[in-house]
Amino acid sequence: MSVRIRTRNDGSAYTQVRYRIAGRETSVSFDDHAEALQFDALVGKVGALKALEITKIVVAQDRGLTVGQWLKHHNDHLTGVTAETLKNYRRYAAKDFPGLVDMPLTALTPDDVRAWMQGLKNSNGAMPAGKTVANKHGYLAGAMNAAVERGHIKSNPCEHVRLPRTNAEENVFLEPAEYQILRAEIPEHWIPLVDFLVTSGARWSEATALRPRDVDKAAGTVRISRAWKKKEGGGYELGPTKTKKSVRTVNLPPQVIAQLDYSGEFLFTNSGRGRHNPDGVVRNASFAPNVWHPAVARAQDKGLEKRPRIHDLRHTCASWLITAGRPLPAIQAQLGHESIVTTVSVYGHLDRSSGQGNADVLSGMLKP
């Protein structure tokens, strides 16, 4: 950072303040030397971008601010996100916008964003999963909103850019008889966990974070208020649930309450504990290949035609409740969805009562 007095071709003097944004040197010029010194002092106190926001200077230096530089600044000043989320955002900024990061921020257009999405490919050349594309687009849109709020750009180039249609992996809904085929192949130690997942609708990260004190045996309820989160740099830590609505109290069948083990620090633990996992915390990376996948394979040998994932126990819970006629708001509360829109969009197609009502009405119209 430096302050230099320069002379124009016409002989007039001006003061140039040079500074860095995200490692790149740029400058802004002042006719008033005192204003230049004030701006230079402000940059030293709060940083260049904040100084530009405070002074509302929007001149050539913003054209020098690239998309990549803005994403770095945006990440460095984010609050209210978990360490794992911030790690993902930094990875996005570093690797996932190769055609955009070197562009001037003010030059980015919706067509550039569309071209970026069309060029997204996995290592095998296929389009990434729809959720992956939505996450990356959502991150970019959020960063551009922040740029609009700071006065660096006039509008968000991500607005009105439609996400590409992708073939999402189908959710698997087990019928009660199908679940019993699978349950019979689950090792005895893990039956309480699997029964809990299918009757609570809890996410894996929520269920495995439960402690015995979270269960009210007399009331037959469990309080879900935390979940496992990945830590930046590796490992896991306990943190908040996915959304505010995910903090909830769920009623459980009495037989599920009765078979839980309340003797450990956590409600569900590994049958064996070691030096690296003294609390016996259950991790998906071990449970899925060593317990779940073999059990599903054995169940398929016994006649199960579906191949459910662990998360499909949550979907199965919702499908059983819908089949029983439970109202969607009650299912929303059970699953901890932030909005009823999510519940309807994921599970609404399973409720055929309204559709049958439509068919009955139309059938009556056909009668002579």
Q: What is the pLDDT of residue 58?
A: 47
Q: Is the pLDDT reported for residue 8 higher than 90?
A: no
**Do 114 and 180 belong to one domain?**
no
Q: What percentage of residues in the chain have a pLDDT greater than 70? A: 85
- Mean of the per-residue pLDDT values of the chain: 84
Q: How many residues does the chain have?
A: 368
The larger pLDDT score, comparing residue 307 to residue 31, is at 307
Alpha helices in the chain (DSSP H): 33-46, 48-55, 60-63, 67-76, 83-95, 110-118, 130-149, 176-183, 191-200, 204-207, 254-258, 284-287, 293-301, 312-323, 328-335, 340-347, 353-366
Q: Is the pLDDT reported for residue 89 higher than 70?
A: yes
Average pLDDT (131-138) is 84
The larger pLDDT score, comparing residue 43 to residue 187, is at 187
Highest-pLDDT range among 63-72, 139-148, 208-217:
208-217
The larger pLDDT score, comparing residue 214 to residue 25, is at 214
Of 63, 96, 111, the residue that ends a domain is 63
**Do 52 and 112 belong to one domain?**
no
**Do 188 and 112 belong to one domain?**
no
- In the DSSP assignment, the letter for residue 77 is T
pTM for the full model? Answer: 0.60
pLDDT band at 185 (very low <50, low <70, confident <90, very high): very high
Among 245, 188, 256, CA closest to 222: 256
| Domain at 253, CATH number | 1.10.443.10
Q: Is the pLDDT reported for residue 92 higher than 60?
A: yes
pLDDT band at 61 (very low <50, low <70, confident <90, very high): very low
Average pLDDT (320-342) is 86
Q: What is the pLDDT of residue 232?
A: 67
Domain assignment of residue 160, yes or no: no
Domain assignment of residue 366, yes or no: no
Q: Is the pLDDT reported for residue 359 higher than 60?
A: yes
Domain assignment of residue 47, yes or no: yes
Q: What is the pLDDT of residue 368?
A: 66
Domain that holds residue 134: 67-149
Q: Which two tokens stand for residue 303?
A: 């006649």
Q: Is the pLDDT reported for residue 275 higher than 60?
A: no
Number of domains making up the chain: 3
